Structure 1
Amino acid sequence: MTPKEQGFFFPAEWHPHRATWLSFPQSSDSWDYGERLERIYPSYMAFVKAITESENVCINAKDEEHQALIWRLIEEYGIDKSKVEVPIHPNNDSWCRDHGPAFLINPETKQRMIVEWGYNAWGGKYPPYDDDDRIPIKIAEYLNLPYVVPGIIMEGGSVEFNGKGTVLTSKSCLLNPNRNPHLSQSEIEDYLRNYYGVEQVLWVTEGIVGDDTDGHIDDTTRFVNEDTVLTVVEPNEEDDNYHPLKQNLEDLKAMRLPNGQPLNIIELPMPDPVYDSGVRLPASYANFLITNKSIIVPTYGCDKDDLALSIIQECFPKHKVVGINATEIIWGLGSFHCLSQQEPII
């Protein structure tokens, strides 16, 4: 029986968490060894500290030396050690949203399960990725949870859930032949329904410029409740993001939920373009993480930061919105949501 047939589903991100999982940065593909890697530590550790204010943080360490470094930084940045776990789980890169486990819950039986999707570093872009591909099973063993292996490529940043049977994703990513070229759109939808326990799959068209994942949804559109989304927009017609984000907005306006109602759509600005060595980076305020008591939002030191934070705060009146400068983090082509994967509780 599939997870859906057994009553399991992937809960919305605002469902209560036991912990948030991270894989500590160490890859030369995402971060140059030495100075560039160390420059992300202040923002990264501020991120860890913000999570521990309301839940545990579990950080995958590649080996004992790496584990010792993480504990030293935990102490150096004044983070509560009792809220941190650092298991040794060999990994290749830091993007736990994509290579980490998909946690499913069954509220009736009070059980949890992990989906071990295949992982190929966004179409084979950054080998090796074999250790990352094994992370979900390592975590299943660590937590003594059952797991299921669908046998296809899927990344956590490519899907967004409302917890009531709907998943949002993007054609530019999931239909890209560098993921599952043997599958049609309808076949991919069947996998999403059966292994995420959803009823409805909704598709936007594109991602943002600079996103090496081929257009992950967590950089463009996020559910804030079961019928409301935040979606990034770009009013500057000269900006490369103008047309793809305009198309996504039109896609969203045409969508209907299973009850026939349209989505409530709240527009979120894009930050000013962020460049490094002439390369545009995928900076977006939509790449925030929802924790038990806070919304951790990447900021970029521009005039739009305060507006973005205020819009997000209005969407989550019971949460504390925490902005953390991500200009060093985004150099690795991802931000706080990309770095993390939540572990729900029953």
Structure 2
Amino acid sequence: MGILVSLPKNGDEEKNYQVNWGNPFGLQVEMRAPFLPSEWHKQSGVQLTWPHAGTDWAHMLKEVQECFTAIAREIAKKELLLIVAPDIDTVKAQISNRVNMENVRFFECETNDTWARDHGAITLIDGSTPRLLDFCFNGWGQKFVAGLDNQITRKAYDAKCFKAEYANHLNFVLEGGSIESDGFGTLLTTSTCLLAPNRNDTMNKVEIEERLRSVFHMQQVLWLDHGYLAGDDTDSHVDTLARLCPNNTIAYVKCIDPDDEHFEELQKMEEQLCTFRTLKGEPYRLLALPMADCIIENTERLPATYANFLIINKAVLYPTYNQPKNDAEAAAVLAEAFPDSEIIGIDCRALIKQHGSLHCVTMQYPEGVIK
């Protein structure tokens, strides 16, 4: 275990370090700035981009707004909540009697959709000043219109919603759901997504990895080459398949039904996860999440996944699908991965009807970022 401390450098500059107390022969000190924090790093709050009649949710607006309200309620119990919407008065009327409004902040602007994980800023910590990295969101490879969503971060920064510096990376397509950081120099991602056409197709794998290492100050990038979910629009975002957790742990989706279309690919993914090593050369502790039972909507299988959980301060919010056995098993696995956190299930059957889930509609910001 360890704690974050600040140590002086050259007498006048402070840097963040991780001090680990597990070595009885002395302290291990690792420089931690600049770095891409893990999701379990202490947070100031979470962004939700609210569904409205101008989004693809129009035909099921009340249903999905109920789901968003449930998510908002749990987040606002623990930390700040930033809600982005074109009409904040309408949102206030929906949530004011059900959510701790003292912890809610609003930013009014036009939006295309609701997937804050992919159009929200990715925050880099550099000493005492967080940096909002604003990457290009192009609708998962130009599948969907995203011009308004791609402007949200800059507009919110200009409106002084954040206490941070702004860094323009709009010349590189990157979605928050496509990467996972452990906060210590390891990035987990999928080759299917980051090498997909119509994202950064002028760059090869080596060039993209060099970009990730440079921008995020990573020591290694772990590429998952297998795994997918039927009905997924993201080209296999890692947050639908495998998630980095504390103590060198990876929680991942496991399929045990040989007749399921995902069985072979997820078996190969599990085999590859077994080959991954930490920066110290040790294998990861692997915790298997259940595969959700098949959910069909209009003859199409929906991408229900328990890997799409959100880590907040002292809690983990995870999606449920009205599958009591699987929902309970997923909760038990997450309790093992996060023994000091409250595990809270939220019915996300509405979200998967638009091919996403709980993590996809949220973006967390580290301590001190949201005003």
Q: Judge same fold: TM > 0.5, yes or no.
A: yes
Note if contact 1:30-1:333 (Cα within 8 Å) is conserved in structure 2: no
- Does residue 140 of the first structure (1) align with residue 144 of the second (2)? no
**Structure 1 unaligned regions, length at least 5:** 1-5
Corresponding pairs, count: 333
- Does residue 217 of the first structure (1) align with residue 238 of the second (2)? yes
Higher share of residues assigned strand: 2
Q: Tell me how far apart the structure 2 counterparts of residues 156 and 173 of structure 1 sit (CA, whole Å).
A: 12
Q: Tell me how far apart the structure 2 counterparts of residues 229 and 27 of structure 1 sit (CA, whole Å).
A: 38
Match of 2:79 in 1: 55
Match of 1:3 in 2: none
State the secondary structure of the residue aligned to 1:86.
strand
Alignment TM-score, normalising by the size of structure 2: 0.86
Q: Tell me how far apart the structure 1 counterparts of residues 213 and 71 of structure 2 sit (CA, whole Å).
A: 32
Match of 1:288 in 2: 309
State the secondary structure of the residue aligned to 1:48.
helix
Note if contact 2:253-2:289 (Cα within 8 Å) is conserved in structure 1: yes
Match of 1:266 in 2: 287
Q: Tell me how far apart the structure 1 counterparts of residues 55 and 304 of structure 2 sit (CA, whole Å).
A: 18
State the secondary structure of the residue aligned to 2:88.
helix
Match of 2:358 in 1: 336
Q: Tell me how far apart the structure 2 counterparts of residues 279 and 335 of structure 1 sit (CA, whole Å).
A: 16
Note if contact 2:133-2:167 (Cα within 8 Å) is conserved in structure 1: yes
From 303, 309, 313, the equivalent of 2:335 is 313
State the secondary structure of the residue aligned to 2:155.
helix
Q: Tell me how far apart the structure 1 counterparts of residues 312 and 43 of structure 2 sit (CA, whole Å).
A: 7
Match of 2:111 in 1: 91
Note if contact 1:99-1:136 (Cα within 8 Å) is conserved in structure 2: yes
Deviation at 1:341, TM superposition (A): 0.6
- Does residue 103 of the first structure (1) align with residue 129 of the second (2)? no
Deviation at 1:144, TM superposition (A): 4.8
Alignment TM-score, normalising by the size of structure 1: 0.93
Note if contact 1:101-1:139 (Cα within 8 Å) is conserved in structure 2: no
After superposition, residues 31-180 of structure 1 pair within 5 angstroms as 31=57, 33-34=58-59, 36-62=60-86, 66-76=87-97, 78-106=98-126, 109-127=127-145, 129-141=146-158, 142=160, 143-150=162-169, 151-180=171-200
Q: Tell me how far apart the structure 2 counterparts of residues 160 and 89 of structure 1 sit (CA, whole Å).
A: 28
Distance 1:246 1:27, change over 3 A: farther
Note if contact 2:54-2:112 (Cα within 8 Å) is conserved in structure 1: no
Letter in 1 for 2:49: S
**Structure 2 unaligned regions, length at least 5:** 1-31
State the secondary structure of the residue aligned to 1:9.
coil
Structure 1 residue ranges, 4+ long, deviating more than 6 angstroms after superposition: none
Q: Tell me how far apart the structure 2 counterparts of residues 17 and 134 of structure 1 sit (CA, whole Å).
A: 23
Note if contact 1:44-1:329 (Cα within 8 Å) is conserved in structure 2: no
1:226-260 deviation per Cα after TM superposition (whole angstroms, max 9, x unaligned): 41100101111111111121111111111112211
State which structure, 1 or 2, has the greater radius of gyration over its C-alpha atoms.
2
Q: Tell me how far apart the structure 1 counterparts of residues 307 and 53 of structure 2 sit (CA, whole Å).
A: 24
State the secondary structure of the residue aligned to 1:40.
helix
State the secondary structure of the residue aligned to 1:22.
strand
State the secondary structure of the residue aligned to 1:262.
coil
- RCO (CA 8 Å, sep 6+): is it higher in 1 or 2? 1
Letter in 1 for 2:181: F
Larger deviation, residues 183-192 vs 137-146: 137-146
Note if contact 1:21-1:342 (Cα within 8 Å) is conserved in structure 2: yes
Note if contact 1:208-1:245 (Cα within 8 Å) is conserved in structure 2: no
Taking only aligned residues, the RMSD between alpha carbons, in angstroms, comes to: 1.6
